[in-house]
Structure 1
Amino acid sequence: MKTAVNTATRPTLTLAIADFKEITKARLAISVVFSSIAGYLLGAQQVDVVSLLLLAFGGYCMVGASNAYNQVIERDLDALMKRTANRPIPSGRMSVRTAMAIAVVLTLLGVVTLYQLNPKTAMFGAISIFLYTSVYTPLKTKTPLAVFVGAFPGAIPFMLGWVAATNEFGIEPGTLFMIQFFWQFPHFWALGWMLDDDYKRGGFKMLPTGKKDKGTALQIIMYTIWMLVISIVPAFGITGLLELSVPAAVIIFLMGMVMLVFAFRLYEKRDNLTAKKLMLASVSYITLMQIVYVIDKFI
């Protein structure tokens, strides 16, 4: 009898964990935590393991809360799109009340945890949730400028790590913010290009011109160039304590050029396969760039 109960419980628990990961977008949240940790390592004079754990846990809670609120707000629209129809709320596996409870609990846990590091970190985390859920999410069906607004909370994590380590906001975390801010545009527009038909089913306006045309592709190229320029600015010694050696800057420049090549190819071909390659290149770029920054500091 006990064995039968355990067997029945196991799938239910597994499904609940899977739905929790889905409602918080675990993979996205982990990538955001990675950015925060990279920022912390760049800012820290001495690495404290407890602070790193607090940042990782608090960061996951804040991102998870934002995603849960987002899925509550967009539940009806999610049901219209193929890629989101099987999410916990539109599929009926999770109630709106449960999702809201998860979002509220994660918000409280996130703010309290980040406050243990310092008040500025908690403040920026709270601002990120507010912008994502109260400004970016409603704008997605109104105007393509939603991507511009969404780039602000999306760029906070890299900066947040530095603030968590130093309790200071200045040119250093500002530069980290700008790198990830400009990166958001080619990344999300490439994704929006791939998923344009599905986004239109939900009424989302994600591409800057509203079309998969040369105008959108040209803007992707422009923002990729800005991202690349800002990424190597610390090599010129004008960003305070945030420094970058010449060899590291060359590596980052070459990685950025790879991404720029894909952006130009999208301008030429304007197809979903090229957009997908650009999107994957952007994910590789932001991860490898942060790794290069951290390695460069410690060697």
Structure 2
Amino acid sequence: MKTAVDTATNATTALTFADFKEITKVRLAVSVVFSSVAGYLLGAYQIDFTSILLLAFGGYCMVGASNAFNQVIERDLDALMNRTRNRPIPAGRMSVNKAMGIAITLTALGVIALYVLNPKTAMFGAISIFLYTSVYTPLKTKTPLAVFVGAFPGAIPFMLGWVAATGDFGIEAGTLFMIQFFWQFPHFWALGWMLHKDYKKGGFKMLPTGKKDKGTALQIIMYTIWMLVISVIPAFGITGRLQLSIPAAILIFAMGMVMLAFAFLLYEKRNNTTARKLMLASVSYITLMQIVYVVDRFISF
């Protein structure tokens, strides 16, 4: 009897933890934490592991809060789409009140953790939550410009790490912000291309032309080019302390060209298979690019 009760308790705990990971979008949150830590390592004069832990914890809380608020707001629309109907709220495994409690708690914990680092970091974290939940989320059913608005909170993490390390927002943090800002467009439009039919069920307008056409593919190409250009600008010595060696810039440029090749392939093929390849290439690019930046910083200096 005791074994059966223990088994049921363990199963319930596992399900609750799984729902927490789902409501906070754990994989997205971890990728955001990775970007933030990369930014911190680029900006820090001296590495402080307590600061890294605070940044990681606060960053996860802020992303988790944004996603929880988002899922509360979009719960009825999530129930209409295949990719989201099994989320905790539309599936009935979590109440709206509980999800709101999680979102509010994570917001408070995140702001406090980031404030301990410095007030500017907390401010940018709070701005990220506000833009994501109060501007981007409502606009998704109104206009494709929602992706443009969503690119602002989406671009904050890389920059946030620099601000956490230095307490300053200057050309260095601005450059990191712009890299991730322009990266958002090919990444999310490739995802929007793949999920276009499902997004339409929820009324979301994610593609710039509203269609899987050459116009959307062309914009993906243009934003990929801008992303690539800005990614190598630090090699020219015009971005303050944020610098990039020539070998590192060549490597990043080569990785960006691979992503650009997939963007051109999408323009030619215009199918979901190619869009998926571009989306995966974009994820690989942003991760590897940040790793190259960090490794180059410690090798060069």
Normalized against structure 2, the TM-score is what? 0.99
Runs of at least 5 residues in structure 2 that lack an aligned partner in the other structure: none
Aligned twin of 1:34: 34
Aligned twin of 2:131: 131
Cα distance per residue 1:59-86 (max 9 Å; x no partner)? 0000000000000000000000000000
Secondary structure at the counterpart of residue 277 of structure 2: helix
Structure 1 position 3, deviation (Å)? 2.5
Structure 1 position 7, deviation (Å)? 1.1
Aligned twin of 1:292: 292
Mapped to 2, the partners of 1:255 and 1:290 lie a distance apart of: 12
Cα distance per residue 1:210-251 (max 9 Å; x no partner)? 000000000000000000000000000000000000000000
Q: How many pairs does the alignment contain?
A: 299
Runs of at least 5 residues in structure 1 that lack an aligned partner in the other structure: none
Secondary structure at the counterpart of residue 47 of structure 2: coil
Cα distance per residue 1:127-149 (max 9 Å; x no partner)? 00000000000000000000000
Aligned twin of 1:250: 250
Aligned twin of 2:83: 83
Letter in 2 for 1:129: I
Mapped to 1, the partners of 2:38 and 2:232 lie a distance apart of: 16
Aligned twin of 1:233: 233
Aligned twin of 1:224: 224
Mapped to 2, the partners of 1:5 and 1:46 lie a distance apart of: 51
Cα distance per residue 1:241-262 (max 9 Å; x no partner)? 0000000000000000000000
Give the CA RMSD over aligned residues. 0.4
Aligned twin of 1:273: 273
Aligned twin of 1:59: 59
Cα distance per residue 1:263-294 (max 9 Å; x no partner)? 00000000000000000000000000000000
Letter in 2 for 1:239: T
Mapped to 2, the partners of 1:87 and 1:93 lie a distance apart of: 8
Cα distance per residue 1:33-84 (max 9 Å; x no partner)? 0000000000001100000000000000000000000000000000000000
Structure 1 position 29, deviation (Å)? 0.2
Q: Identity over the aligned pairs, expressed in percent?
A: 84
Letter in 2 for 1:144: P
Mapped to 2, the partners of 1:82 and 1:118 lie a distance apart of: 41
Moved >6 Å (runs of 4+)? none
Structure 1 position 2, deviation (Å)? 3.0
Aligned twin of 2:261: 261
Secondary structure at the counterpart of residue 293 of structure 1: helix
